[in-house]
Amino acid sequence: MSPAAPPRSLVELLAHRAALHPDRVALRNGPHRLDFGTWRLRAAALAHGLLARGLRPGDPVGLRYGSTEWTDYAVAYCGVQWAGGIAVPLSDRLAPAAAEHILRDSGCVGVLHAHGGPPPRLPAGVWQASGEDLEGDAPATGDGAGPPLPDPGAPAQYLYTSGTTGLPKGVRATHANLAHGCTLDERRRPLRHSRTFLHSFPIGTNAGQTMLVNCLDTAATGIAAPQFTPLRFARLIEEHAVGSVFLVPATAIELLASTALTRCDLSTVRLVGSTAAALPQPVALRLSQAFPGAQIVNYYTSTEAAPAQITLLFDPDRPESPGRPASLAQLRVTRPDGRPAATGEPGEIWLRSPTAPRSYLGAPDAGTEVFQGSWVRMGDIGRLDADGYLHLLDRERDVIKSGAHKVSTLQVENALHAHPDVADAAAFGIPHPVLGSVVAAVVVPRREKPDTTLLRAFLLERLAAHELPARILYRDTLPRNDGGKVLKRELHRLLDDEATS
């Protein structure tokens, strides 16, 4: 029997799964649950409601939903795409100015929302409506059928970057891009080892969107935690016999620092995946010890590169690397002149999109430094060793040039995380009158604040002298965005505030 043709859109995948097993639960979120049949019926009704309202092909529609509204969001996301519109995910955690920027920049004609309401600052001419109201306003079709399936090459989603270094950038993806790698063959469903998978990623992030696609494509039911606290998260693992757990480094660190892992049965977990940022090596090692029956996986991708993704299988016997890529076909490390770097030589990391690549919104030449044909520049420096293990050295913009040396902030952070009294840490460069820049660090103590002299002595066993933090500041938390990434520009402000206090 030949394998089924792949779906050409997520809407086609939803219709397929609803036809096969309409009562199977696709998504749970707190007390809410959404089965495939209900998902398809509601998405079709919403699509008809949008068309009756005048939505035209290619019209962008903002989707403002919170972490307790994942089921309504899933319906709205597919409903907009089914109507021929472009889904623009918006977290309800966005600052009013950021939400307004996204609505203006994307050209949204309207905003769908749930009980949390629309963003407080809607641009003139942008309508707002409850998704449930539009479902109810849809004209009767008799058989509950939706509109025609969308064109695979048409834009389907504008997803905005995290904006850690400036205003968020809109990234355009087609239906074919979003559905790439999904299957209509029930024998090939991913996560077959899991009855359920669990995450706590926010709506409006690339990680969150990946989890939504997982709900449509995998054999497991998705569980979106309404909010992350270590004990509640661990209890969800126990309650639902979760087989696959997805984290960002920030939640992994918080989970490991709590007593939750010893208070709940976590024996069903077979996979722990980390994404969105580099997972510190000591944290990956502790995860492998906390989940002895699970494979620890680092997923390496970006909003721009998806669905290109490198799956790094962490090896506890090689903790200095996030793992060996399952395949090197879509990865290259290059020198500044674009030629391939030699084995062990640092260089820029690029990923190749296996389908129609994404692109930035704006002028036709927007993003030419990031998108080159099917290749996407990741903005990271790394190297491949002789055994095929990838070593992430740093974000290109975060490398500290100190005198004649280049210092990796990730290496400094790995050393800090290895200290038993350090719960979390971030390193960054600060100006120096002679060296140009030196290393500074903000440290979150696990319990009591470590003695700084003893901490530096500990680090000296793991770092060269030029890599040692010249300044160390202690804080209760690190400033992070909704996706869990450290906002390093805020770390500079912490030092500035300390200097003027």
Residue 324 confidence (pLDDT): 86
Q: How many residues does the chain have?
A: 501
Instruction: Classify the C-alpha dihedral 463-249-62-358 as positive or negative.
Output: positive
Tokens of 30: 């707190």
* Residue 384 bridge partners (DSSP): 390
Instruction: Return d(Cα 379, Cα 348) in angstroms, integer.
Output: 7
Q: Which of 485, 493, 468, 481 is closest to 416 using CA atoms?
A: 468
Residue 403 confidence (pLDDT): 86
Instruction: Return d(Cα 355, Cα 296) in angstroms, integer.
Output: 27
pLDDT per residue as tens digits for the range 363-393: 666 678 889 888 999 999 999 999 989 999 8
8 A C-beta contact, residue 407 and residue 400: yes
Instruction: Classify the C-alpha dihedral 81-87-91-92 as positive or negative.
Output: negative
In a domain, 67, yes or no: yes
Summarize the confidence of residues 251-269 as an average pLDDT: 94
Residue 145 confidence (pLDDT): 79
In a domain, 139, yes or no: yes
In a domain, 52, yes or no: yes
Residue 433 confidence (pLDDT): 86
Q: What is the CATH number of the domain that holds 449?
A: 3.30.300.30
pLDDT per residue as tens digits for the range 17-53: 999 999 999 999 999 999 999 999 999 999 999 999 9
Residue 329 confidence (pLDDT): 83
Q: What pTM does this model have?
A: 0.90
pLDDT above 70 for 3: no
Task: Give the model's confidence band at 501: pLDDT under 50 very low, under 70 low, under 90 confident, else very high.
Answer: very low
Q: Which of 119, 145, 179 is the last residue of a domain?
A: 179
Tokens of 60: 């962008």
Summarize the confidence of residues 54-60 as an average pLDDT: 97
| φ/ψ of residue 5, rounded to 5 | -65, 145
Task: Give the model's confidence band at 277: pLDDT under 50 very low, under 70 low, under 90 confident, else very high.
Answer: confident
Summarize the confidence of residues 204-213 as an average pLDDT: 95
Residue 493 confidence (pLDDT): 81
Give the range of the structural domain holding residue 37, as residue numbers without chain letter: 10-179
pLDDT above 90 for 443: yes
pLDDT per residue as tens digits for the range 112-171: 999 888 998 899 999 999 999 898 876 655 556 789 999 999 999 999 987 665 678 999
Residue 365 confidence (pLDDT): 67
Q: Which of 161, 179, 197 is the last residue of a domain?
A: 179
In a domain, 65, yes or no: yes
Distances (CA, A) of 390 to 217, 309, 341: 28, 13, 13
In a domain, 116, yes or no: yes
Instruction: Return d(Cα 150, Cα 156) in angstroms, integer.
Output: 9
pLDDT per residue as tens digits for the range 303-353: 999 998 889 999 998 888 888 887 788 899 999 888 999 999 999 999 999
Question: For the chain, how many structural domains are there in total?
Answer: 2
In a domain, 434, yes or no: yes
How many C-beta atoms surround the C-beta of residue 236 within 10 A? 20
In a domain, 420, yes or no: yes
Q: Which of 157, 179, 201 is the last residue of a domain?
A: 179
Instruction: Return d(Cα 112, Cα 125) in angstroms, integer.
Output: 14
Q: What is the CATH number of the domain that holds 54?
A: 3.40.50.980
pLDDT above 50 for 354: yes
pLDDT above 80 for 500: no
Q: Return the minimum-mean-pLDDT range out of 9-13, 275-279, 413-417.
A: 275-279
Q: What percent of the chain has pLDDT over 90?
A: 70
Instruction: Return d(Cα 271, Cα 267) in angstroms, integer.
Output: 11
In a domain, 470, yes or no: yes
User: Within its chain, how far is the Cα of 384 from the centroid?
Assistant: 24
The DSSP result for 248-275, as a single string, is -HHHHHHHHHSSHHHHS--TT--EEEE-
Q: Report the mean per-residue pLDDT for the chain.
A: 91
490 or 40, greater pLDDT:
40
